[in-house]
Amino acid sequence: MAIILNKRISDKDLLVLQFLFRMRGATAAQLVKGLNYPNTISSEKNMYKPLKKLGEIGLVDYQFIKLHTRNFYFLSEEGYNFMIRFMNLQPQHRGKGFYKDYGVFDFKLQRPPSQQHKHFLMQVDTFLEFEKIRDVKMPGIYFDYRDNRYCSKKFELISDSKEKKVWEELKPDGEVLIVREVVKKESGKAEVRKTKNIYSIEVDTGTERKVRLLNKFQQYKLYFDYLKKKKQPLPRGIIFVSNTKEREFGLEARWFTISNAFHEAVGEYSFQVNLIHETMDQINLGLHREILGSKIAAQAFKNIIPVLENSPDFKGLPLKYFSEELPYNGGMATTLVEIQEGKGVLFCYVRVDGFETLGWNELKHFLEFLSNEKTLNTHYSRIQKVVPVCLFLNKPSNMPDSNFFKGLPLLSLQDTILYNVSNNKWFTKDLDVIDKIPLIPISERLIGH
């Protein structure tokens, strides 16, 4: 047992202190999980020994949570200062939160809130899930997270007024960072390029009604306006994390409320920022999907396109990207199938996995472009119908409300095809299995109704 800053500290004591410094607070059960001890009653009981000792020497404090009939523990002010000295952090260093770049804050920010215990403990549970992902070695991928101390953002309100500047603040519960390294070969030389995506995290206890959700998303829109004005990248998504039990009780209704508030508040940014809702037991799967990113579509095309190219029954363009079509500024991938001379069906590939919005919004954005171009460009006049091909890994998303695609007559939602990328299986929108690739041969019914 070592003497550290005049305190007798064991290895286990130090692990507890480091964990509480990082998480701000936790129950004994969360400490057991976070320090990778066996998930047993005896492990939790054994955790009370270092907690009691650290409390007796003044480094740890606790608060009783009536709702959970248990204590949760956090560093005392003395314990916080002890860890700042032990970690050799400079007093004015705020840190980034990512890459273990920890900062020094006023103790009021370090100490967990005295109210809203349920929300705070759910936040700790969420971060524990993130740490599981971070600890897995993934070639070419860096994954990390940070809490709200680091990602609270003060920004200038964008307005036409020339009066005194007005400042706003966005306070997500946390942020996730996904960095991908891609090796590009140009002129015989390999160059490593990095792409970085940020996701805002919102821990959802299910208590916020639509008015409060609208206020939250309106604040996001103000922040997006600021980023757009400063020509800075938008976050890739906003991830709502809810309790696992919500999957059994009212998850669909909650998603309807959250997604409606999102679309109502953020406007055009819904075409660029993905709203995602995951329960605690599914957050790892959801983030794994985000880590894979464009590889999901790439794998789908690797499975699908060669079949089309090698089929004597297929007529059309196996794969066409609209990324360079002006004024459309998206990257829609499509397959054009010729049914009759001068008439065709356009299949649009969109990722709609679980509770997320971006795939449907990208499709809507593309259809608005196509409807305008169809009247101006004879190249598009042969497209008689647009059919979504929904790519998913875990569970396909529900169809949007019928009003979502109102005024877009080219779309045929009733013909929607689902494709499970993980097992190369096709389904109808009602989840009936389709034995063969449904893009060939195509029935003329797709033109006829």
The tens digit of pLDDT for each residue in 427-437 reads: 999 999 998 89
Assign residue 394 a region (left: φ > 0; alpha: ψ between -120 and 50; beta: otherwise): alpha
Among the ranges given (62-76, 81-95, 313-327), the one the predictor scored with the smallest mean pLDDT: 313-327
Pick the more confident residue, 401 or 51. Answer: 51
Among the ranges given (67-81, 120-134, 168-182), the one the predictor scored with the smallest mean pLDDT: 67-81
* Cβ-contact 30, 15 below 8 angstroms: no
Asked whether the CA dihedral 317, 320, 325, 329 is positive or negative, the reply is positive
User: What proportion of the chain, given as a percentage, has pLDDT over 70?
Assistant: 92
User: What proportion of the chain, given as a percentage, has pLDDT over 90?
Assistant: 64
Q: Is 326 a residue whose pLDDT tops 60?
A: no
Q: What is the mean pLDDT of residues 38-65?
A: 94
Among the ranges given (130-144, 202-216, 309-323), the one the predictor scored with the smallest mean pLDDT: 309-323
pTM for this entry: 0.91
Question: Can you name the residues that pair with 175 across neighbouring β-strands?
Answer: 146, 200
Per-residue confidence at 448, pLDDT binned at 50, 70, 90?
Answer: very low
Q: What is the mean pLDDT of residues 133-160?
A: 91
By C-alpha distance, which of 429, 446, 423, 443 is closest to 390? 429
Amino acid at 307: V
Determine phi and psi for 327, rounding to 5 degrees.
-90, 10
* DSSP state letters, 45-87: HHHHHHHHHHHHTTSEEEEEETTTTEEEEEE-HHHHHHHHHHT
Q: What is the mean pLDDT of residues 85-90?
A: 95
* Cβ-contact 398, 252 below 8 angstroms: yes
* Cβ-contact 315, 349 below 8 angstroms: no
By C-alpha distance, which of 346, 336, 334, 338 is closest to 300? 334
Question: Can you name the residues that pair with 427 across neighbouring β-strands?
Answer: 418, 433
Q: Is 446 a residue whose pLDDT tops 50?
A: no
Q: Is 69 a residue whose pLDDT tops 80?
A: no
Q: For the segment 348-391, what is each residue's pLDDT rounded down to a tens digit?
A: 999 999 999 999 999 998 998 888 776 666 667 788 899 999 99
237-242 vs 189-204, strand pairing mode: parallel
Q: For the segment 19-37, what is each residue's pLDDT rounded down to a tens digit?
A: 999 999 999 999 999 999 9
Per-residue confidence at 323, pLDDT binned at 50, 70, 90?
Answer: low
Q: How far is CA 348 from CA 13, 36, 89, 445, in A?
A: 56, 44, 52, 18
* Cβ-contact 352, 390 below 8 angstroms: yes
Domain 2-96 has CATH 1.10.10.10: yes
CB atoms within 10 A of CB 190: 8
What is the reported pLDDT for 169? 94
Q: What is the mean pLDDT of residues 185-189?
A: 72
Per-residue confidence at 78, pLDDT binned at 50, 70, 90?
Answer: very high
Per-residue confidence at 444, pLDDT binned at 50, 70, 90?
Answer: very low
* Cβ-contact 209, 256 below 8 angstroms: no
